[in-house]
Structure 1
């Protein structure tokens, strides 16, 4: 019964790409890279975020419009279907070290049994995709009216099943600090508006540098999103931000993607004769942002 709930609306194309169907709508995965800059200024693919692209009879439908059309009684099923879709598509990537971020609305699962069922569905999708749960981060979004205890229980069950947990729009308010303690995330997206305010002065830059270092020391990987201008990437470099995401760096691509060409794995090369090894690792001051995609 659980297997049918995942795969009844899943379709596999000849190239292995997965699509899903819901009524008259076709759902596809658009994957957006999350990148890490090396000490040599090279951008490496560390993770991807799964975004839904919906269409009806060939006409694209904005995601917000599509989800607004889903009846309340179907929302848990569609929420789960989208996660399974992204997991199956990322399983087709040649890179087996890339983490997948998938969105979730834990408030849709109102009982311990419903939460346990959803975690089991994710485990089954991961097994089918050939992915370990440790490569999948479930981004827990908190909506007005959500029960904090339910969200915490969802996070605990994800961790117990070896999945990762992510949170978004972190701005270090009292509520955010409490959410950080309650959900124990492995990844954390900063609020872009809050980051912009901190970038306006040297004091804010220093505070952000300390905060990023503390999060990493505690085992949390922070991410700055919505990077669309070069100064934002430079600010991330100044504060030691490990992970970056945004249209300046890479746009979402509908699966199948060209990530292998855009962000090839670095091949180790011996240092040139007469050059010290530390010179080969010298920091590049000019970033290489990779190929812009559409």
Structure 2
């Protein structure tokens, strides 16, 4: 696999972003658990999502709840660096899969400046940029839609894959799609739960898949727990799937994928 050249972090740090230039790196008691997104057509991992965990075993919700507004930038940066560091140590890029990182758009002041520490971590560990995917949750309250669109444009121009997570969980999904085209959308688990026995859910997902195909956006289903759910989604054309059916998140490890 050929690696995309890494831009010089100094070149990408324009003057004027004081938070990026002066905010010190902070230590957070965090690690990452990894869960695969599986291409059921091949049985191989398409990506591994990095999910923040506390060193005491606490989940993402508890960790994020303890982060104050004044620390959101430093926390977002720390999560990116930790995810890349662990992924490199685990040889994730050698699997051919992407590394999916959840990012906080309200913590990104200026996209090309605030990516600096991500680039430094990637360069330090020789992790290819074209193996990075950034997920934005539809459920997150955004301060500025124009700012988000700018982030996505800049990220895609630097070779990153972009995704909207929890699609269908809130009311902004279609509006976000109208503003920008991510590479992927991840259907919220409430849309796919028990889909094998629910005609209404199948009709909704069938419509979403058709719309995304026309837009050139790939669809991922998350929260898959049973073989029947997986097979129903594959029949609808959703072959990228994530959930306990395939593997539970593993702390600082790439879990085996269930057949």
If the TM-score is normalised by the length of the shorter chain, which range does it land in?
0.7 to 0.9
What is aligned with 2:60?
Answer: 63
Distance in 2 between the 1:198 and 1:120 partners? Answer: 42
Distance in 2 between the 1:178 and 1:64 partners? Answer: 26
Once the 2 structures are TM-superposed, how far is the Cα of residue 173 of structure 1 from its aligned partner? 8.3
Distance in 1 between the 2:186 and 2:64 partners? Answer: 23
Matched, 1:122 2:118: yes
Aligned counterpart in structure 2 of residue 229 of structure 1, from 212, 226, 229: 226
Q: How many residues align?
A: 239
Once the 2 structures are TM-superposed, how far is the Cα of residue 195 of structure 1 from its aligned partner? 3.2
What is aligned with 2:205?
Answer: 208
Distance in 2 between the 1:62 and 1:249 partners? Answer: 20
Matched, 1:131 2:130: no
Structure 2, gaps ≥5 residues long: 1-9, 14-19
RCO (CA 8 Å, sep 6+): is it higher in 1 or 2?
2
Task: Provide the TM-score with structure 2 as the length reference.
Answer: 0.79
Distance in 2 between the 1:67 and 1:171 partners? Answer: 22
What is aligned with 2:246?
Answer: 249
**1:20-99 residue pairs with structure 2 within 5 A?**
21-22=27-28, 25=29, 27-38=30-41, 43-55=43-55, 59-92=56-89, 93=91, 95-99=94-98
Query: Larger radius of gyration, structure 1 or 2?
Result: 1
CA RMSD of aligned residues (A): 3.0
Distance in 2 between the 1:146 and 1:200 partners? Answer: 39
Once the 2 structures are TM-superposed, how far is the Cα of residue 171 of structure 1 from its aligned partner? 2.6
Distance in 1 between the 2:194 and 2:102 partners? Answer: 26
Distance in 1 between the 2:221 and 2:85 partners? Answer: 26
Query: Measured at CA, do residues 7 and 89 of structure 1 come closer, stay the same or move farther in structure 2, by a change above 3 Å?
Result: farther
CA contact (8 A) 2:47 2:99 kept: yes
What is aligned with 1:160?
Answer: 157
Structure 1, gaps ≥5 residues long: 10-20, 264-288
CA contact (8 A) 1:139 1:166 kept: yes
Local SS of the residue matching 2:172 = helix
Deviations 1:206-262 (A, max 9, x none): 5634542552464322111111123211211221212110012111111233x4xx3
